[in-house]
Structure 1
């Protein structure tokens, strides 16, 4: 990078990297990768609520909106947390709990709820193993996604990639030794000059 520090370093939430970044890149801003954060959603908030398409649509609308100002993001985040807290406990356990039951009854109902979650997860895993994956494109990110996503989720991802590529237009290509310069248009919005080194990829 021309002996210059990057303005921003984006990594996963590795404690070692978090500690090393300020020492190595003392003029750079260290940010966490949004993709990795979203991958941890099911273990943080539970699979039941992550299977709620309305909730996921709402949270994606907040998380991936690059036009939100920090204070707007915080407002939306707080509003989402309120329904999430009530929904995650209420919606799932409502049909299993009784306000007048004993502790033993509660424990039995709780175990039933957990077992049903496990059964649903096993059923989804089984359906994923025995379904056909749609055609994987040549890009490395798609190949990686096909290994880590379930088939339905990969289908959604694949469609997003197709839309992103279709929305981009190429204005031309020039070459200089091992470097290619691509003029890329993002729909009608902006134009970018992308530099690609064919030796180092």
Structure 2
């Protein structure tokens, strides 16, 4: 299989009786996607997918169209810490040892134990609540007299794993807030599953699902090249955004521009510590913001927002990919047109 598919990675492990327990795989396109979009990864083993009752455990991210993209697939016969540790370590091998900025999972005990054994730099997150967290948490604790309860204290101590307000410093921290991304991806793959099927049938169905996912991405890429989004304000910053962002990202960017025009007003300028200071009034949120202006401050602020929210340019995917031997795989993005058409037809009748 790997011989005919440039950049293909595959590994497996067996139980003591020789039965297959943990296969894992990632082709060249998936690995290339990870090299671009792999800062934020969701992992969620939620359902069994074949007659051997093995759990399907995809690694999922978000691409430049704000759509799910699959980096790696694995099956596990035993959902325990040792199995997850093996899967995590082999997924890193498939991706050249590059850790994500963060990985989001559920609170399965085996996963919670395995993550820190493999990921040394990635931040682990598993649930998200609203902002203004600390004050609300303290208020709830006082109101219900639960501040001294062990569970309550433990969850607060782990807040960097699950509270969005404590992830603002994390690049790509705003891309995925819960395991909803993985749950959505699992719903997508379920359209191709057969719980009575063999492993071979599952892999064929998996390939069909991947072909459809990539066909959609190529269709959106083509739309970015040959169509232009509608400009609403004609401000230079909006015009530039339409030129560099994918259509989906531009929609979100455009809403920010329109919101700032409609609701944010400057209330004058002053000087403090040799810096120009302006007070910005957000009428909708009933808040004032003090902005300290210095050279390149706007660029730096937007850069921070872009890194947190996952704002990619429309040509983000145009990068090199290398095979398992470290050699450039020039044709990993080639998908046969007939294969795509068959895959789309397959998905429509199932």
Taking structure 1 as the reference length, the TM-score comes to 0.53
Residue 51 of structure 1 is matched in structure 2 by 67
Match of 1:190 among 284, 287, 298: 287
1:32-181 equivalences in 2 (<5 Å): 40-41=39-40, 45-47=60-62, 51=67, 65-69=130-134, 71=156, 80-81=178-179, 83-89=180-186, 91-135=187-231, 137-139=235-237, 143=240, 146-147=243-244, 149-173=245-269, 180-181=276-277
Question: Distance in 1 between the 2:261 and 2:60 partners?
Answer: 32
Q: Give secondary structure in 1 for the equivalent of 2:178.
A: helix
- Cα displacement (A) at 1:117: 0.9
Secondary structure of the corresponding residue to residue 80 of structure 1: coil
Q: Whose RCO is larger (CA < 8 A, sep 6+)?
A: 2
Matches of 1:151 and 1:186 in 2, distance apart?
27
Structure 2, unaligned runs of 5 or more: 1-36, 43-58, 69-127, 138-155, 165-176, 299-350
For these two proteins, the number of residue pairs brought into alignment is 147
Contact 1:142 1:158 in 2 (8 A): no
Q: 1:174 to 1:104 in 2, by over 3 A?
A: closer
Distance of 2:188 and 2:41 partners within structure 1:
15
Q: 1:156 deviation in Å?
A: 2.5
User: CA separation in 1, counterparts of 2:230 and 2:41?
Assistant: 24
Are the counterparts in 1 of residues 241 and 250 from structure 2 also a CA contact under 8 Å?
no
* Cα distance change, pair 195–94 in 1 and its aligned pair in 2 (3 A): closer
Unaligned runs of 5+ in 1: 1-37, 53-61
If the length of structure 2 is used for normalisation, what is the TM-score?
Answer: 0.33
Q: Aligned-residue CA RMSD in angstroms?
A: 4.2
